[in-house]
Structure 1
């Protein structure tokens, strides 16, 4: 699997998997492939046994209320799943860094990828750039990859819904006369 942990791919994959948990190994396999991962073998039930608790831990990172709490949660994930960095050209498509042991099952590989990718995203873009949508009834998680770092909503529909709600709250009723 060759995925650049310096980009947003790892946190976007984590958000996708956390927002809509994989229904089974086939679903996990298909979603990893759709995200651009090159898999050595398809997912098996044991991969979900490792991945689902890793996603629970990742949601604690998302829901942390302060930078220190968030850092501690990420550090816990890193300690549980990452290894010393090393150069590899395992797929023959260019040298890149891995922060994991070789020959890991998919669930463990994803846990490592998510923890390292999240750490790099937060220190590279800002500790605040991982959150849930601000629309009250939406709990969708997203990684803020905006230029300004001020993304508040998971999607344009949620942003529009909140804008309409704010507009209606400000509007005064018409006087009838």
Structure 2
């Protein structure tokens, strides 16, 4: 499944933000939630996935960090096939972020549906865009494309853009850890 480029971009941002801003485990290692200057840096790093540098103010970092627990909850509900819960959480996010649709032109002259927040500041804009991206994924019945890593001691999230929709891990590293553990168990 390939989401359109804008939806894929905001869902990618959502995964990077959830994975960088929430405490838990990544590949078997504990990960703390950042705070203070580290929060601004983590948000900037998460949004730099597309090569665009972002100057993140403290207020923007806090706005984004404020919605991330609910974004994580949507991924968790999706990974447990709890569609109604994921939809309820997403609807709450849409309301809370004030997501509003807008048709924006692309350089090639085509138009794409984008969602903006109540202001054009970075924090409200990304928060609203992520809420809308989740809504678009759920609204086209692609809830199964949102997941939480199934490797032991890893709770990082991912968006499955593969053709067959069978992704189970956040990274090749976690997939390899599981394969190696399975291999060692068979050798015993």
User: Which 5+ residue runs of structure 2 have no aligned equivalent?
Assistant: 22-33
Q: Residues 27, 171 of structure 1: CA spacing in aligned structure 2 closer, same or farther, 3 A cutoff?
A: closer
Q: Deviations over 1:59-113 (max 9, x none)?
A: 1111124111111111111122244422233x86743322225742111111111
| Distance (whole Å) between structure 2 residues aligned to residue 102 and residue 88 of structure 1 | 16
In the alignment, is residue 76 of structure 1 matched against residue 92 of structure 2?
A: yes
Deviations 1:15-47 (A, max 9, x none): 1111112624355345424425586xx321111
Offset of 1:53 from its aligned partner?
1.3
Cα distance in 1 for partners of 2:53, 2:113 equals: 15
CA shift, 1:125, in A, is 6.0
Could you list the per-position Cα deviations for residues 105-125 of structure 1 after superposition, in whole angstroms to 9, with x for gaps in the alignment?
A: 111111111111122223336
Give the structure-2-normalised TM-score: 0.75
Query: For residue 16 of structure 1, what is the aligned residue in structure 2?
Result: 16
Is the CA contact 1:83–1:101 (under 8 Å) kept in the aligned structure 2?
yes
Match of 1:118 in 2: 134
Instruction: Report SS of the residue matched to 2:64.
Output: helix
| Structure of higher CA gyration radius | 1
Deviation at 1:127, TM superposition (A): 1.2
Instruction: Tell me how far apart the structure 2 counterparts of residues 62 and 30 of structure 1 sit (CA, whole Å).
Output: 21
Structure 1: gaps of 5 or more residues: 173-177
Matched-pair contact (CA < 8 Å) for 1:131–1:142:
yes
Matches within 5 A, 1:147-166: 147-166=163-182
Query: Contact 2:115–2:132 at 8 Å: present in 1 too?
Result: yes
**How many residue pairs get matched?**
166
Q: Using the alignment, how far apart are the partners of 2:114 and 2:139 within structure 1?
A: 18
Higher strand proportion = 2
